[in-house]
Structure 1
Amino acid sequence: MRSHLTRNVYRRLLAGHGLVRPCPGQLVFFSSSSSSRRLSRPPSQLLIRHAPRRTFFGIFKKPPRELKEPELEPGYDVLLKFRSDETENERLQSRAALLKGLREFLEHKKRYHKFLNSTQAFLTSRLVRHLLETEAPPEELSKDLDVVDLRLALELALKRPRGDCANHLALARVLYAGIEQRTGAGAFEADGADPESALEVSSPEERHQDFQQYLTALVQYGASLEAVECLAEHLKELQAKGETNKGARVLWVLVLEGLASEGREEELLREYRNAEAAGVNYMPPVHEVMTTFFARRDRVPETKQWFGKPIHGNWSPTTEAYMEVVRFAVRNNQKDWIRPVFEKLVKSNPQKSRWDVIFAWAVLAMDKGVEDIKQMMELMMKSPKNSSNHKKEKRPDADTINVLIKAAIEKKNPYLAERFLALATELGIQQNYATYVLQMDYRLEAGDLSGVQAIYQKLRSREVAVWYEADVPILNKYLRALCAVETPDIERILDITSELERRYIIIEPETTVSLCTLFLRSDKQFDVIDTLSLHTLSYSIEERRQVQHGFVQYCLDRKASTARAWDAYSLLRQYFPDTSKEDRIRLMDEFFARKRPDMACHVFGHMRAHASMDMRPTRETYVRCLEGIGRYPDLESLRMVHNMLKMDTTIQLDTQLYNALMVAYTSCDEVLLALDLWEQITNMPEGPSYNSLAIVFWACEKMYWFYFNADRRIARDIWEKVQRLDLDVPPAVFNSYVGAVAAEGALENIKRLIQGMDATMGYSPSVMTFGIAFNALPAEELKTRFKQWATAEYPELWARLETKGCKQTLRGTIYNVERIFEA
């Protein structure tokens, strides 16, 4: 079965267009005749607005704004097209073109230190698998996929993405298998192949590095149990070959870290014992893994046991282990237990990095202030120099200040963080980029946006060098905060987004949602289009769903005007053709609720015209749409939907669909057509339902209003047939029949029907019974007489009806009773 997701998403990523038709609202789109057709126009021309005619005075106007062109990363279009061609079973590009695109893509990612998102990892794994499973022509063997390419891809696969990592794990498996295949390693031999057929030869050190990276991928992406098995097999193979692995300790630590991160306590303890049996000592990294595992779970006895266990070679714990037990002690009221540990550390003439942990302990566990920390810094500077480097003094630096600021942030004390910054100035310590990022962070938490802007300007002016995209997470957070204020500064926001664009930064999907929501509220559709064009093409499918969900939520938000909600929907359809059918139905219902059946039916029409069969409306969707028209009549929209139904060969008409059509046509005052549908229902083997009866009586009621000479026997004949069949008539059907009789003006008949309900129907009249009867009476004089009778005979029910209120219409006085007919 073909993948409609690939056909409708990946191809549109390349073409940058959607399957659209003219719709209500301000936005106008080009349409395409088929889902696979590609336009020669650039994406910026796909969404246009009607321009006024040019006049003499128009020559002085500014030219219309040009939309920003989306840019795909080099080589990414090749990966997209390959997957599209593979899914559609079309002819693939040449092997040389595929290799060229893959290499360009991987080299671009490495050059700019970017990670693969989930979708990119999936596409890369599919292309690499194809290249590995197919043979290159003899003349291209020298330029074919080699171990260098595979190792580069594996290196990129180790950069953890946002969101789901399943595709990264699959990619790592494919790449490592390819490396084994290319180098004639054990896994390749296990498949029965000849080791001499390997294309390249790797040294034991290179093979160890390959295996270590593969093991890292397994433990990083949730496959630690598989990593345990792989490590056991690896060590067994080395032993069988008489080889030694000097890096086995590192591999054991990796496995332990993976099991700990997945919370597998039983397996962690088992593998620790196996590591001990294999000769792995209780080194600082192992100590850190075991201590951290129990400390983060607030397991007090176990944490004390593993932290206090002697470390091999009298080494000290790592700074990470120290920091974790500090936080553990604060959370679990174990400050007295941790105090002797750090007092001993202070007396041991620790290294500079350990002093930074001591300062953090003093702030977090001992509640020390700036003056206390200053005295401790003086103590540090007076301590003997490190034995490893006698010329280097231990002095506080930017890293020390950053540790102190982080401690203040953990204590949720921005004032203390500011005092530590002042201390840095007093001591002449030059701040680094991490200090600026931390300042922005705690000032954002404190709501000090002007202070954040001041720090941002320093970063932008390059007062300090920023390590690649280290400031991007906090800038995303800053943008979201700017969008969330009551009166956003749009110029400031656009200034920041322009700077990120200049740096070719792809913002986070949550930030895209915030920006687009703000721009939609501000009627800045061009900025929405720019934001979507520049970023969504580089998102994974999961990230695209986040943005898509944001647009759906905006459309469902009643605070947004209907016009803005329609603009948002138009952009949603343009940029996210893979929006789920469930979300489309929710949007259809929303536009019905906004009393815009024309918009709701266009949403339905877009489902009907979608290239993917999975997006097409089902029988239930048709019923839902027609019921919506029944609540909010629009004859033109009804005719459009009915025509779609007639042309839809996948839908079989049944009683429920006929009921829905009856509801819609009756609501649109086309009662004769509704009664024709009733005739078709009676001729069906399935026959009418109770809902059919309620609807047809309603149609008769309206017919008597519009056609004075109409046959007055229709409703009575149906009712007599119901009585002959001795059916248990629900209250909704009886009330609808009362409305039909009332529309004839037969006041005495109504009274007899209502008075005899207990005896004939087995239930009493309701407020709805009186409301329907009163509203259906054709003359004001009849309504007055009915009201007098009901007030005398059923005073409590009539009083409840009066509480609903009434209004004056062309049909006279009408009580506010809501009648909802379901198919």
Structure 2
Amino acid sequence: MRSQLARNVHIRLLASNGYASLMSCRALPGCYPASLSLPCPVPCPHFPSPSPQPLARRQQRRSFFNIFQKPPRQIKEPDFEPGYDVLLQFRKSESEGARPPDRDELVNGWLQFIRHKKRRRKGLNQTQAFLAMRLLRYLIETETEGYEDITIEDLRAALHVVMKPPKGNPESHLELAKLLYDEIDGRIQRMRKFGLDENTIRQITGGAKGTTDFENYLKSLAQYGGALEAVDCFSGYLSQVNGAELPPVAKVLWVIILRGLAKEGREEELLREFQAAEAAGVEFSPNIHEIMVTFYGSRDQVEEAKYWFERPVHANWRRTPEAYMQAIKFALRNDEQEWLQRMMEELVNSKPGKEWWNVILYWAVVAMDKGAEEVKQMIRIMMSTPPTDGVDPPVPDTTTLDALIRAATEKQNPYLAERFLSIGHELGIELKASTYLLQMDYRLDAKDFSGVQAIYAKFRRGEVPIENEEDLPVVNKYIRALCSVKNPDIDRILDIVADLEHRQATLEPETVAAICTVLLRNDNQFEVIDTLSMHTVSYSLEERAQVRGALIDFILDPKVSTARVWDCYSLLRQYFPETPPADRVRLMDAFFARKRPDMAAYIFGHMRSHDNPAMHPTEDVYIRCLEGFARLPDPDSLRMVHNMLKMDTKIQMTTRLYNALMLGYVACDDPGTALEFWRDITNSREGPSYNSLEIVFWACERLPYGDRTARQIWAKMQRLDLEVPPQVFWAYCGALAGSGHVDEVIRLIRGMDVMVGYGPGLMTFGVTYNALPSEDSKAIFEEFARAEYPEIWAQLERKGRRETIEGIKFNIVREMHA
């Protein structure tokens, strides 16, 4: 059983309000249910209206016979991060144009949130960054002059938090970083205007202006797609530098600029800035060498990568291990083993330190196919060869072992990885968390779940210390692997998830999606509720979309039972009200495909009743739903949708809508009502279309004495000398045949070439035969068609016939659209 920490108020969502969307206001992609004391963070137009749900449980009454039963699950509040609810409340008030909470509450909430993130060393997702930026901007704009309730230290802490890159779009991170730095810089500039000296400013602000703040700011710009803006800022910084000699910090900043340009793939700007740095006296340091090698090597530009790698580094400094790693991967991808062999032999002969030996051992495995014993011999050579700087010989440690395991993993050789672990044991290397995590990773790839569980048990018992939650990626991968097997161990999955929830760790969206799919397939709906409520509450829109997509895929899977699919849809509706209309239409079509027009109508109704106008059905969606009823008649559902259309003031009636209504009512055995829509079409400015004619003839076919109306319409078409498409002609034949006029239909078909300019086809005979009311008339028509059009009739007979309550009919599909 899962931890009670996972029991959530979101079970109440099944009987109250659900999440609200972010589609127009960019607020949090969720809101609190109405049963909570906290308000929804988005404007009212985004609230889904309250409605009872099929999964809601009744409150049990106590009686003598159930006093020994287990009490119902306790519903607990969602475990929000400190201060996050204040950010949500502010965004809600801002979106609605309402009065925000008290300033003290807003300031305390913002500070709590930022301090919690820094203390836990956790970054912001794109939604959190957006909310934090909006609230900070409001606090700055409404700040009382001379009174600053957020200190520079807090602003610097926020800038530090922002520097941890998100998985999704970093646009809000970039905006927040700019806002933070502008506020820090503006406060310090104001102090200087007041005449305060630098020492006083340093004491007031808790540190020196410029170097740290500006460096962090440039790093934010460089890693969030603002490298060109970082270049402009840095150029302004250089213009203020006094003296001919370049400050040492400028060299560090230049490396940041080059790294940002390389990350964005801006080759022209990268080379221009490198040349400017070189002209200004910046040495070709190992860091710059690594940037250039990585840039060209990752793009497989062979000659450029080799040129930059071979270019001498300033003062004969050794190239970085990462540069060698990039060179190894680049050379293997581009069949440059000979060049790589020469470069690595030079490295070995240079008597490098341990960090470079780790690279050498990695190269020996991935490029030279060295086995465990050969690597072991190389390690002995490493331990007996002191580096050139005169220090003690390098001793293999955890990083050495990790490099070997990564190499074996890349070669997809888990047995070799285990042999390296044995070598590490022989050498007395103490395993750390990183090694165990690598071991879990390759065992997962080998589907060795028992071995992975043994390692995970070590982490769980605290035998291997974990810092900064570095185990979460592998544990998430473990959960997804458990979910992917044919017969998943639900208890083990929930046990691991409960352990992570106890640690207040948030699962990755891919993991939540996998868990929900498995639980739904095993009818664990309430566990799905726990999982969604615990882990999606702080997801960004992109992360929520991943989970939402998995639920939609589950609903669209035709192999899943309709009952399970409907339960999943109920959860989707409550937890993801931001589900776009296109996906809702796909779900509606899926239930039509399951031959459940009633459920499809409910999905349509949920769109129509959504309080976000962007979710309301358009004319095309109305038509699509009504055409669904034409395929799968359901009179009650048809009337429900028609009533919604009557009340929808945003939808103007068109010929296509009237056509769709005619289709629906004819299919539901109400051709009389369908003819009323035909009269509306004829009285409208737009008038009928060819589809209208086909549909109205179908209505006449199903209507007693409908041939009278059909003849009137046909006569008017003849007077107007309209071109008659085949589908309209055979529909008219069906209208006459529906009233039993078999002789008239036969004369009509015989004169087709003269009347409409083409002869009959398979559908002409099929529609007419199916419409004839009696067996005698069918026999007469069959005799005529078999004698005069034997080839076409033979094609029709190959379709086969079926017995219906209306008589024998051919198996033809008559598709009509609005």
Q: 2:21·2:577 contact (CA, 8 Å) conserved in 1?
A: no
Of the structure 1 ranges 446-455 and 669-678, higher mean CA displacement relative to structure 2 is found in 446-455
Q: How does 1:55-454 map to 2 (within 5 A)?
A: 56-67=64-75, 69-136=77-144, 141=147, 144-184=149-189, 205-239=208-242, 245-384=247-386, 387=389, 390=392, 394-454=394-454
Measure, in 2, the Cα distance between the counterparts of 1:630 and 1:177. Answer: 62
Measure, in 1, the Cα distance between the counterparts of 2:386 and 2:197. Answer: 61
Cα distance, 1:729–1:540 mapped onto 2, change above 3 Å:
same
Amino acid at match of 2:716: K
Measure, in 1, the Cα distance between the counterparts of 2:528 and 2:761. Answer: 52
The alpha-carbon deviation at position 46 of structure 1 amounts to 11
Cα distance, 1:104–1:657 mapped onto 2, change above 3 Å:
same
The alpha-carbon deviation at position 703 of structure 1 amounts to 1.2
SS at match of 2:248: coil
Of the structure 1 ranges 283-292 and 302-311, higher mean CA displacement relative to structure 2 is found in 302-311
Amino acid at match of 1:153: A
The alpha-carbon deviation at position 82 of structure 1 amounts to 0.8
Of the structure 1 ranges 605-614 and 116-125, higher mean CA displacement relative to structure 2 is found in 605-614
The correspondence for 1:804, drawn from 796, 799, 805, is: 799
Q: 1:184·1:196 contact (CA, 8 Å) conserved in 2?
A: no
Q: What's the CA shift string for 1:91-113, capped at 9, x where partnerless?
A: 01111111100011011111111
Amino acid at match of 2:773: P
Q: 1:9·1:578 contact (CA, 8 Å) conserved in 2?
A: no
Cα distance, 1:771–1:471 mapped onto 2, change above 3 Å:
same
Measure, in 2, the Cα distance between the counterparts of 1:45 and 1:787. Answer: 54
Measure, in 2, the Cα distance between the counterparts of 1:469 and 1:814. Answer: 68
Cα distance, 1:304–1:585 mapped onto 2, change above 3 Å:
same
Cα distance, 1:529–1:169 mapped onto 2, change above 3 Å:
same
Measure, in 2, the Cα distance between the counterparts of 1:9 and 1:566. Answer: 29
Q: 2:402·2:438 contact (CA, 8 Å) conserved in 1?
A: yes
The alpha-carbon deviation at position 794 of structure 1 amounts to 1.6
Other-structure match for 2:756: 761
Of the structure 1 ranges 201-210 and 300-309, higher mean CA displacement relative to structure 2 is found in 201-210
Other-structure match for 1:748: 743
Measure, in 1, the Cα distance between the counterparts of 2:97 and 2:735. Answer: 60
Measure, in 1, the Cα distance between the counterparts of 2:293 and 2:44. Answer: 60
* Unaligned segments of structure 2, at least 5 residues: 1-19, 37-42
Of the structure 1 ranges 313-322 and 346-355, higher mean CA displacement relative to structure 2 is found in 346-355
Q: How does 1:622-701 map to 2 (within 5 A)?
A: 622-701=622-701
SS at match of 2:809: strand
Cα distance, 1:569–1:197 mapped onto 2, change above 3 Å:
farther
Q: What's the CA shift string for 1:12-50, capped at 9, x where partnerless?
A: 83423699xxxxxxxxxxxxx9768899x9x99996224
Amino acid at match of 1:720: A
Q: 1:68·1:534 contact (CA, 8 Å) conserved in 2?
A: no
Q: What's the CA shift string for 1:97-156, capped at 9, x where partnerless?
A: 111000110111111111100000011111111111222377xx26x1121111111000
The alpha-carbon deviation at position 331 of structure 1 amounts to 2.0
The alpha-carbon deviation at position 467 of structure 1 amounts to 1.9
How many corresponding residue pairs?
790
Q: 2:633·2:667 contact (CA, 8 Å) conserved in 1?
A: yes
Of the structure 1 ranges 621-630 and 121-130, higher mean CA displacement relative to structure 2 is found in 621-630
Cα distance, 1:758–1:67 mapped onto 2, change above 3 Å:
farther
Q: 1:17·1:46 contact (CA, 8 Å) conserved in 2?
A: no
Amino acid at match of 1:779: S
Cα distance, 1:820–1:50 mapped onto 2, change above 3 Å:
farther
SS at match of 1:247: helix
The alpha-carbon deviation at position 448 of structure 1 amounts to 2.4
Q: 2:361·2:375 contact (CA, 8 Å) conserved in 1?
A: yes
Q: What's the CA shift string for 1:72-93, capped at 9, x where partnerless?
A: 1110011111111111110011
SS at match of 2:241: helix
Other-structure match for 1:30: none
Q: What's the CA shift string for 1:731-786, capped at 9, x where partnerless?
A: 11111111111111111112111222122111221211111111111111221222
Amino acid at match of 2:732: Y
SS at match of 2:803: strand
Amino acid at match of 2:364: A
Measure, in 2, the Cα distance between the counterparts of 1:203 and 1:282. Answer: 34
Q: 1:109·1:115 contact (CA, 8 Å) conserved in 2?
A: yes
Q: 2:27·2:131 contact (CA, 8 Å) conserved in 1?
A: no
Q: TM-score, normalization: structure 1?
A: 0.91
Measure, in 2, the Cα distance between the counterparts of 1:203 and 1:565. Answer: 58
Q: 1:521·1:564 contact (CA, 8 Å) conserved in 2?
A: yes
Measure, in 1, the Cα distance between the counterparts of 2:315 and 2:620. Answer: 72
Measure, in 2, the Cα distance between the counterparts of 1:55 and 1:487. Answer: 39
The alpha-carbon deviation at position 453 of structure 1 amounts to 2.0
Other-structure match for 2:12: none
Cα distance, 1:47–1:558 mapped onto 2, change above 3 Å:
closer
The alpha-carbon deviation at position 203 of structure 1 amounts to 8.5
The alpha-carbon deviation at position 583 of structure 1 amounts to 1.2
Other-structure match for 1:778: 773
The alpha-carbon deviation at position 562 of structure 1 amounts to 1.8
Q: 2:730·2:767 contact (CA, 8 Å) conserved in 1?
A: yes
The alpha-carbon deviation at position 361 of structure 1 amounts to 1.6
Measure, in 2, the Cα distance between the counterparts of 1:155 and 1:110. Answer: 8
Which has the bigger relative contact order, CA under 8 A and spacing at least 6? 2
SS at match of 1:807: strand
Q: Confirm whether residue 16 of structure 1 aligns to residue 33 of structure 2.
A: yes
SS at match of 2:240: helix
Measure, in 2, the Cα distance between the counterparts of 1:493 and 1:204. Answer: 48
Measure, in 1, the Cα distance between the counterparts of 2:29 and 2:470. Answer: 32
The alpha-carbon deviation at position 305 of structure 1 amounts to 1.9
The alpha-carbon deviation at position 54 of structure 1 amounts to 5.6
Amino acid at match of 1:362: A
Amino acid at match of 1:533: S
Q: 2:623·2:656 contact (CA, 8 Å) conserved in 1?
A: yes
Cα distance, 1:514–1:204 mapped onto 2, change above 3 Å:
closer
Q: What's the CA shift string for 1:515-536, capped at 9, x where partnerless?
A: 1111111111101111110011
SS at match of 2:703: helix
Measure, in 2, the Cα distance between the counterparts of 1:463 and 1:715. Answer: 86
Q: 2:627·2:660 contact (CA, 8 Å) conserved in 1?
A: yes
Measure, in 2, the Cα distance between the counterparts of 1:819 and 1:197. Answer: 87
Q: What's the CA shift string for 1:437-487, capped at 9, x where partnerless?
A: 111211222222232222222222222111221111111111111111111
SS at match of 1:239: coil
SS at match of 2:451: helix
Measure, in 1, the Cα distance between the counterparts of 2:517 and 2:282. Answer: 55
Q: TM-score, normalization: structure 2?
A: 0.92
Q: Calculate the aligned-residue CA RMSD, in Å.
A: 2.8
Cα distance, 1:58–1:768 mapped onto 2, change above 3 Å:
farther
Q: How does 1:42-53 map to 2 (within 5 A)?
A: 48-50=56-58
The alpha-carbon deviation at position 243 of structure 1 amounts to 10
